[in-house]
């Protein structure tokens, strides 16, 4: 035997090879406790001990039981809360109020859309002329005053027009658009082109748009035509008028000048403008906005709840102009009902 071999004591070898004592088999934990800690459990297949291996185990049912929402404690004899039923009057009032809210929101949206209204309308009076405009010339077919990027002024045919009616003309090209503004402290107007330069007329009556500043050459008077409503005369400070000349032979475009000394058919122009800049339309929209009032505002003004006919009466009074009188009558009526 090698010197590196180990020898086990005889007592250890005997204990190792001696068969284990037969212990009683316990078929349950309770039986094992009665028999003692040395009792052996009945052998089971490990697969039968796992719940997911049990064919009768329902994982979905267990998950549902575990995930159920925790309900508040309830005791025997507790009364179940009753849901309040709305009366027919409350339901009608709620419907009326919601309808007024919808109408108010739609009216607000209409006013906001009106501020972004890019449609074109006719200027009816001189104070209407402000903002983007379009000069419609008395030619056949109708043309508009235009300028290019270098300031050359010319006539350009109108594509956005209905049945060649100049009252329906709208610009289709940015070169046809001028921005009109009244010169501060005067009655004259200035017209800026799309390229940022102002329309001007020299002493020879030649039009151009090459000046970045406003001088007497870039200042004009707008005069309403007396016998033709909706038309205007554009006058220079030398008392001459802008006019359109018939085309020369072999020329298809009309010539525009500023040296006409009297009012003629060719000096009678129409001015189209964007609707959102027209002062009269703005005033009418403000008046309509004042006419709109909600039921809640009326009830706050009166100081009590109002009947449907009272709401209608007050709204009608706002339109007809006797709102304050009707409001006072309803306030007096409310006091009589309170103390009567």
SS3 118: coil
Sign for the CA dihedral angle at 294, 298, 304, 305 comes to negative
- State residue 152's pLDDT score: 95
Answering whether pTM is above 0.85, one says: no
- State residue 118's pLDDT score: 76
- State residue 206's pLDDT score: 95
DSSP run (H or E) holding 153: strand 153-157
- State residue 332's pLDDT score: 78
> What span, in angstroms and rounded, lies between the C-alpha atoms of 197 and 200?
9
Angle between helices 308-320 and 323-339 (to 10 degrees): 150
SS3 293: coil
Residues with Cβ within 8 Å of 224's Cβ and at least 6 positions away in sequence, in order, are 125, 126, 231, 232, 233
The pLDDT tens digits along the chain (340 residues) read 445 555 555 655 555 555 544 555 556 665 555 555 555 554 445 444 444 445 555 555 555 555 555 666 666 666 677 666 666 656 555 654 555 444 545 544 545 555 566 789 999 999 999 999 999 999 989 999 999 999 999 999 999 998 889 989 999 999 999 999 999 989 999 999 999 999 999 999 999 999 999 999 999 999 999 989 999 999 999 999 999 998 877 777 899 999 999 999 999 999 999 988 887 655 555 555 555 778 888 888 888 888 888 888 888 887 777 777 888 888 877 665 554 5
> What span, in angstroms and rounded, lies between the C-alpha atoms of 56 and 54?
5
Sign for the CA dihedral angle at 228, 232, 234, 239 comes to positive
120-278 has which CATH code?
2.80.10.50
Residues in the chain: 340
**Structural domain boundaries in the chain:** 10-53, 120-278, 293-339
Please name the residue that has the structure tokens 């078929």. Answer: 27
Residues with Cβ within 8 Å of 312's Cβ and at least 6 positions away in sequence, in order, are none
Q: 59 and 52 in contact (C-beta within 8 Å)?
A: yes
């Amino acid at each position: 035997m090698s010197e590196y071999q180990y020898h086990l004591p005889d007592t250890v070898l005997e204990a190792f090879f001696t068969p284990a004592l037969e212990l009683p088999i316990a078929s349950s934990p309770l039986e094992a406790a009665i028999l003692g800690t040395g009792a052996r459990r009945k052998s089971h297949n490990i697969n039968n001990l796992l719940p997911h291996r049990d064919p009768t185990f329902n994982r979905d049912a267990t998950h549902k039981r575990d995930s159920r929402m925790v309900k508040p404690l309830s005791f025997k004899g507790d009364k179940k809360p009753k849901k309040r039923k709305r009366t027919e009057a409350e339901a009608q009032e709620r419907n009326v109020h919601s309808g007024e809210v919808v109408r108010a929101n739609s009216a607000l949206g209409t006013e906001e859309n009106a501020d972004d209204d890019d449609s074109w309308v006719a200027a009816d009076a001189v104070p209407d002329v402000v903002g983007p405009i379009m000069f419609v010339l008395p030619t056949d077919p109708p043309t508009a005053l235009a300028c290019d990027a270098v300031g050359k002024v010319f006539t350009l045919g109108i594509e956005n027009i209905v049945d060649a009616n100049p009252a329906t003309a709208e610009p289709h090209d940015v070169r046809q658009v001028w921005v009109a503004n009244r010169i501060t402290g005067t009655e004259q107007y200035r017209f800026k082109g799309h390229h940022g330069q102002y329309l001007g007329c020299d002493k020879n009556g030649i039009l151009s748009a090459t000046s970045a500043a406003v001088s007497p050459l870039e200042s004009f008077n707008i005069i309403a035509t007396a016998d033709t409503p909706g038309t205007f005369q554009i006058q220079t400070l030398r008392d001459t008028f802008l006019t359109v000349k018939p085309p020369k032979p072999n020329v298809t475009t009309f010539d525009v000048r500023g040296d006409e000394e009297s009012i003629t058919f060719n000096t009678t122009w129409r001015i189209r403008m964007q609707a959102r800049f027209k002062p009269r339309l703005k005033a009418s929209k403000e008046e309509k906005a004042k006419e709109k009032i909600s039921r809640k505002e009326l009830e706050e003004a009166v100081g009590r709840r109002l009947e449907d006919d009272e709401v209608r009466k007050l709204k009608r009074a706002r339109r007809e102009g006797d709102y304050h009188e009707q409001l006072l009558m309803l306030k007096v009526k409310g006091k009589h009902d309170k103390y009567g």
